[in-house]
Amino acid sequence: MKNPYLPIPMMVKKAFMETTDRMLRTLELTFQKEEDQKAFEFIPGQFCELSSFGKGEAPFGIASSPTENGSLKFTINRAGMVTTTLHHIEEGEEVGIRGPLGNGYPIDLFKGHNLLVVGGGFAFTTLRSLIAYFLEPEHRSLIREITVLYGARMPGLLLYKEELQEWSKRDDMKVVVTVDVGDQGWKGTVGLVPNVLKEVAPSSEDTYAVVCGPPIMIRFTLPQLKALQFPDERIYTSLERRMKCGVGKCGRCNIGHLYVCKDGPVFSLEQLNILPKEG
Amino acid sequence: MTLKLDKKDFHSFLQNLMNDYELFAPVQVAEGVAVYKKIEHPLEAARFSLNPQKPAKEVFFPQSETMFRYGKVGVKTEVTSTEKVERKRILLGARPCDLQAVSLLDEIFQGREYSDPYYINKRQATTVIGMGCSQPLSTCFCSSMEGGPFSRNHSDIFLIDLGEAYLVEVLTEKGKAFEKNPFFKKATQKDLKAAKSIEKNASNQVGAILSLEGIERKLDQMIESPFWDRVQERCIGCRVCTYLCPTCHCFDIADETLTTKGQRVRNWDSCLSSLYSQETSGHNPRPTNRERTRQRLMHKFNYFPKNVGRIACVGCGRCVLYCPADLDIRETIKEIQKG
């Protein structure tokens, strides 16, 4: 019987600060054992529990794509004990990880359709995984048009800036990056994600929308998508909850009868509509 | 096969079992307080006529349990799991309600997607010697919850207290391994008759008083009901009902560390605690006692049935008996059913 509570060791290959407020740090981890690497198969949208031994565990969405072999990327918001330790961990040091956990995005469902990705703030991690997955040359033809709308409060708080620039140069996708408040160097769009969405959204016909962001952004984005006539079954989001076990045993992360850790974290709006409103 | 065990042989019988098994039985830990514990000496085993305060789930799912130990060796951390169970075990004296609860925990810890080796290993290594509940309390309602004070379900061997002896029923293959125990004698017709009468008396005492029919569907419609305001008004959030509940299975995971080595442990947790669902940001999806008391009841009578097709309450009555605010889950159920 596989023990789902035992972390496997991974090494910090690269660690760097993403944002100017120094609250978001990306860790690139490599497997220490070949058998662990082989056994680790994931899809975008899944997450892992990262261990800082002595402090505990916390869940993080996988920011890398399964097409980027050999390593896993996580972007960590410094908030509590575990995340603070993960902000101080150095390259060459070891962390424990458990996963992949959760259901991930319904990749097969998206195939053959258009994809609209709407992200805000540091919730862009698993969206980045999803986008990178479909931008992989052999996967690009699996879906039709890709539109990405990503926003942050300020330019300095955007994640994966270099990659965003590369994407915006591509002619096989549309990328709009917006900030709530610009600065002197900012040449891009200024405006809140829900407002910008109105202007840049593709037709809802044959399009799936994936939305991740702070609760306030989600709250104002969903009505916009409805106004654009996206049906609830084609709107997906990924939820966060306090979690411990990650495998549906310890209680805690449930919404109604579903556990965010094992039945989610990805849900369609259609699914969420019938669950109790606990937010 | 029906046997009997004279009470004068009880301690020798336990000693005999302890030669080959780790024995878990009710142990008196304070005046009038019994819990299930591993016993080191036969005299420790309390022959309680009443159901112990803490449920038998503890034998498979301890209140605090080490999951693995870790130690730093240079930059590497070595992890050693503690999931293995070294010796075969016996759970002695568990009541039918607690055993029905264990069968519900099986659904969680066995799981469809993930199995929990700490629980499963203990469960598989254990032979269950259940005990008929000849003195049910006024708080008991097992007969309303698909059980009964003499339900043999989930026991490998079943004991009935006849006064001077125990009647011994061997029920499963696992139980058969004990048939030849030197302290077992053949039961007489008189013993069987006495046992029947004890069983009948106990069953009459409990009776089926509650109707659970349709409660899951009723609750589907009640999530925003003002009913929960009334439920939470009396609850002081002490969590005793969840800790003593034989079906509650929530746990917290924490690291305990000393310089370079330590252990990861899991501890019983409770949905009635505000920290239980509070996120690091401070946001809490269940900010008040209203959402938390609702979670406890919805989980037992709606979510659990949705997931595994069974109600997660066995009618042991501990939450009724030990609630400092005198909340009575039977009354709550009746109100929902009227609702």
Q: What is the CATH number of the domain that holds A168?
A: 3.40.50.80
Q: What is the pLDDT of residue B173?
A: 96
Q: Which residues of B touch A279 (CB under 8 A)?
A: 285
- DSSP assignments along B191-223, one per residue: HHHHHHHHHHHHHHHH------TTHHHHHHT-T
Q: Please, what is the average pLDDT of chain B?
A: 94
Contact A44, A105 (CB under 8 A): yes
Task: Name the band, by pLDDT with cuts 50, 70 and 90, for residue A107.
Answer: very high
Residue A80: strand, helix, or coil: coil
How many Cβ pairs closer than 8 A exist between chain A and B?
123
Q: Are residues A229 and A136 in the same domain?
A: yes
- Whether residue A267 lies inside any domain: the answer is no
- Whether residues A262 and B117 touch (CB distance < 8 A) is answered with no
Please check whether residue A83 touches B, CB under 8 A: yes
pLDDT-based confidence at residue A226 (cuts at 50, 70, 90): very high
Same domain, A86 and A177: no
Instruction: Pinpoint the alpha helices (H) of chain A.
Output: 34-39, 81-88, 107-110, 125-135, 137-140, 161-169, 193-200, 215-227, 269-273
What are the tens digits of pLDDT across the range B180-218?
A: 999 999 999 999 999 999 999 999 999 778 999 999 999
pLDDT of residue B98: 98
Q: Report if residue A90 sits inside a domain.
A: yes
Residues A242-261: what's their mean pLDDT?
A: 96
Which helix (H) or strand (E) segment holds residue B290: the answer is: helix B289-298
* pLDDT tier, B46 (very low <50, low <70, confident <90, very high otherwise): confident
Q: Is position A164 within any domain? A: yes
**A250: alpha, beta or left, given left = phi > 0 and alpha = psi -120 to 50?**
alpha
Judge whether A188 lies within some domain: yes
Give the end of a domain, one of A56, A73, A101.
A101
A228: in domain: yes
In terms of residue numbers, what domain contains A228? 107-238
Tell me, what's the pLDDT at B109? Answer: 97
Domain boundary among A223, A238, A253: A238
pLDDT tens figures, B133-171: 999 999 999 999 999 999 999 999 999 999 999 999 999
Residues A130 and A229 reside in one and the same domain: yes
* Domain stop point among A77, A101, A125: A101
| DSSP strand pairing (A207-212 vs A114-120) | parallel
Name residue, tokens 């800036």. Answer: A161
List pLDDT tens digits, range A173-212. 999 999 999 999 999 999 999 999 999 999 999 999 999 9
Are residues A185 and A71 part of one domain? no
* CA–CA gap between residue B26 and residue B53 (Å, rounded): 10
Of A94, A215, A254, nearest to B76 by CB-CB distance is A94
* Burial (Cβ within 10 Å: 0-12, 13-18, ≥19) of residue B274: middle
pLDDT of residue A1: 80
Chain A residues with CB under 8 Å of B249 CB are: 249-251
Predicted pLDDT of residue A274: 92
Instruction: Specify the pLDDT at position B277.
Output: 95
Return the minimum-mean-pLDDT range out of A43-47, A79-83, B207-211. Answer: B207-211
Which residues of chain B are within 8 Å of residue A255 when distances are taken between CB atoms?
A: 285
pLDDT in tens, B262-275: 999 999 999 999 99
- pTM assigned to the model: 0.95
The pLDDT of residue A106 is 98
What's the domain count of chain A?
Answer: 2
Q: In the numeric block, which tokens belong to residue B51? A: 């159901």
Q: Is residue A25 part of a domain?
A: yes
- If asked whether residues A15 and A93 sit together in one domain, one would say yes
The ipTM, to two decimals, is 0.93
A78 near B CB under 8 A = no
Residue A244, in any domain of the structure: no
Q: CB-side exposure of B228: number of CA atoms within 13 Å?
A: 18
Structure tokens at B292: 């938390």
Of the residues B76, B228, B280, B295, the best mutation for testing chain A's interface (the one with the most A CB atoms within 10 Å of its CB) is B280
Same domain, yes or no: A119 and A234: yes
Is A245 a domain residue? no
pLDDT at B243: 97
- What CATH number did the domain enclosing A18 receive? 2.40.30.10
Give the rounded percent of residues in chain B with a pLDDT score beyond 90: 89
Residue B32 predicted with pLDDT over 90 = no
Q: How confident is the model at residue B45 (pLDDT cuts 50, 70, 90)?
A: confident
Average pLDDT over residues B230-252: 96
Under 8 Å between Cβ of A6 and B263: no
3-state secondary structure of A177: strand
What radius of gyration do chain A's Cα atoms show?
18
With a cut of 90, say whether residue B251 has pLDDT above it: yes
Q: Are residues A78 and A39 in the same domain?
A: yes
Residues A125 and A180 occupy one common structural domain? yes
Helices B96-110, B117-124: axis angle to 10 degrees equals 130
Same domain, A151 and A216: yes
Whether residue A141 sits in one domain with residue A202: yes
- Mean predicted confidence (pLDDT) in A160-165: 96
Decide: A211 and A225 in contact? Cβ < 8 Å. Answer: yes
Chain A residues with CB under 8 Å of B283 CB are 215
Q: Is a pLDDT exceeding 90 seen at residue B285?
A: yes
Inform me whether the C-beta atom of residue A79 falls under 8 Å from chain B C-beta atoms: yes
- On whether both A134 and A63 belong to a single domain, the answer is no
* pLDDT at residue number A278: 80
Residue B1 has pLDDT above 80, yes or no: no
A165, A229: one domain = yes
Q: pLDDT grade, residue B225 (50/70/90)?
A: very high
* Span of A26-30, A113-117, B38-42 with lowest mean pLDDT: B38-42
Is the pLDDT at B227 greater than 90? The verdict is: yes
pLDDT at A228 over 80: yes
Q: How confident is the model at residue B111 (pLDDT cuts 50, 70, 90)?
A: confident
